[in-house]
């Protein structure tokens, strides 16, 4: 049985490569689009529950536009769903990504003009020129400037996922969130992994099946290992400490592993079911 989260088909339309595998009224080639807002909610159905968020600069394959909504699949992780069409613009090939927790696009060099856009960690941008402290950027629908020190070329990884995740310390917990305005456990892990050039899907159950390699139950934990509970994932900072966005405290925080194990078992009646090691 296919998983709607990674299957670009909704009954009315489906991707051409799925013909003969799923039922749909039409099989279509995708159009390309790019998120041109701070975030774009990715919903299970138009106006329905929030599954995840796409962020500024994310490239999307668009299979249908209908009643102000677009049915899309994200290129960074294959996640499918509906975003508001108003959040999309014509794609511009990105060259850099935001490597700090948050930043802004300004209309001119300097910090005294009202910014054009707010950006979160991992946002992708096309840099067209870099002079001194400021980088000129372009996206579908506009141009502006970002502080040069906040950007990294897309081909340069941030190799320590735990350090990337720590940029989000204090970020409020938000179910389905993928930004510094609100993030959940799997969104935090995904942001940190993608920055390290480690492929990573959007939800914790998907991550528990695919990210890194499964560890034996008796393997000692090390930095950047992942620990999975039903519906939750945490990143190991050191063998005694985890870093996670959690609904228990509604924030992104360090927590002693022993405390988290006891707290989650008391509240949810669950223990970890898997641990995985990220590639070096």
Residue 280: pLDDT band with limits 50, 70, 90: confident
* Last-in-domain residue among 62, 89, 116: 89
CB 97 within 8 A of CB 118: no
How many CB atoms are located within 10 Å of the residue 6 CB? Answer: 16
CB 28 within 8 A of CB 15: yes
Res 169 pLDDT > 70: yes
* Last-in-domain residue among 89, 108, 134: 89
pTM as predicted: 0.97
Position 2 scores a pLDDT of 85
Same domain, 175 and 257: yes
Burial of 114 (0-12, 13-18, 19+ CB in 10 A): exposed
Same domain, 165 and 147: no
Same domain, 173 and 192: yes
Res 1 pLDDT > 80: no
For residue 103, is it left (φ>0), alpha (ψ between -120 and 50) or beta? beta
What CATH number does residue 241 fall under? 3.90.1720.10
- C-alpha 56/C-alpha 231 separation (Å) is 26
- Which residues, other chains included, contact 255 with Cβ-Cβ below 8 Å and sequence gap of 6+? 234, 241, 242, 243, 244, 246
Same domain, 182 and 200: yes
Give the mean model confidence (pLDDT) for residues 23-43.
Answer: 98
- C-alpha 86/C-alpha 37 separation (Å) is 9
Same domain, 225 and 180: yes
Same domain, 145 and 183: no
What does each C-alpha distance from 237 to 4, 11, 59, 164, 199 come to in angstroms? 33, 43, 31, 11, 20
What CATH number does residue 71 fall under? 2.30.30.40
- C-alpha 153/C-alpha 96 separation (Å) is 4
Residue of 214, 159, 221 lying closest to 192 (CA atoms): 159
* Last-in-domain residue among 105, 121, 153: 153
- C-alpha 209/C-alpha 49 separation (Å) is 24
Residues 210-267: pLDDT tens digits?
999 999 999 999 999 999 999 999 999 999 999 999 999 999 999 999 999 999 999 9
Same domain, 29 and 82: yes
Same domain, 256 and 169: yes
Same domain, 85 and 101: no
Same domain, 11 and 56: yes
Residues 180-211: pLDDT tens digits?
999 999 999 999 999 999 999 999 999 999 99
Same domain, 75 and 124: no
Same domain, 172 and 249: yes
Residues 47-57: pLDDT tens digits?
999 999 999 99
Give the mean model confidence (pLDDT) for residues 274-278.
Answer: 98
Residue of 206, 181, 172, 256 lying closest to 189 (CA atoms): 206
Residue with tokens 């509604």: 250
Among 74-78, 108-112, 177-181, which is the least confidently predicted range?
108-112
Position 59 scores a pLDDT of 98
Residue of 232, 251, 255, 226 lying closest to 243 (CA atoms): 255
Which range of residues forms the domain containing residue 188? Answer: 161-277
Count of domains for the chain: 3
């Amino acid at each position: 049985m296919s998983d709607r989260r990674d299957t670009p088909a909704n009954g009315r339309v489906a991707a051409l490569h799925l013909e003969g595998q799923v039922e749909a009224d039409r099989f279509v080639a995708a159009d390309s689009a790019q998120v041109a807002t701070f975030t774009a909610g990715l919903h299970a159905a138009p106006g329905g529950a929030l599954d995840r968020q796409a962020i500024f600069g994310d490239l999307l394959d668009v299979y249908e536009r209908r009643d102000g909504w677009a049915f899309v699949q994200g290129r960074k992780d294959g996640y499918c769903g509906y975003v508001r069409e108003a959040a999309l613009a014509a794609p511009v090939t990105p060259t850099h990504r935001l490597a700090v927790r948050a930043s802004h696009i300004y209309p001119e060099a300097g910090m005294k003009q009202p910014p054009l856009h707010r950006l979160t960690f991992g946002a992708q941008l096309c840099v067209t020129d870099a002079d001194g402290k400021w980088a000129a950027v372009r996206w579908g629908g506009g141009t502006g400037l970002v502080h040069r020190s906040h950007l990294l070329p897309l081909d340069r990884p941030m190799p320590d996922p735990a350090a990337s995740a720590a940029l989000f310390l204090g970020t409020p917990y938000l179910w389905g969130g993928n930004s510094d305005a609100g993030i959940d456990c799997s969104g935090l892990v995904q942001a940190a992994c993608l920055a390290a050039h480690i492929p990573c899907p959007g939800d914790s159950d998907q991550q528990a099946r695919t990210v890194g390699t499964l560890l034996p139950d008796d393997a000692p934990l090390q930095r950047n290992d992942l620990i999975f509970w039903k519906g939750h994932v945490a990143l190991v900072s050191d063998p005694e400490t985890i870093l996670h966005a959690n609904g228990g405290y509604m924030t992104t925080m360090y927590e002693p592993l022993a405390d988290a194990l006891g707290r989650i078992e008391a509240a949810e009646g669950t223990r970890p079911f898997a641990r995985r090691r990220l590639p070096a």
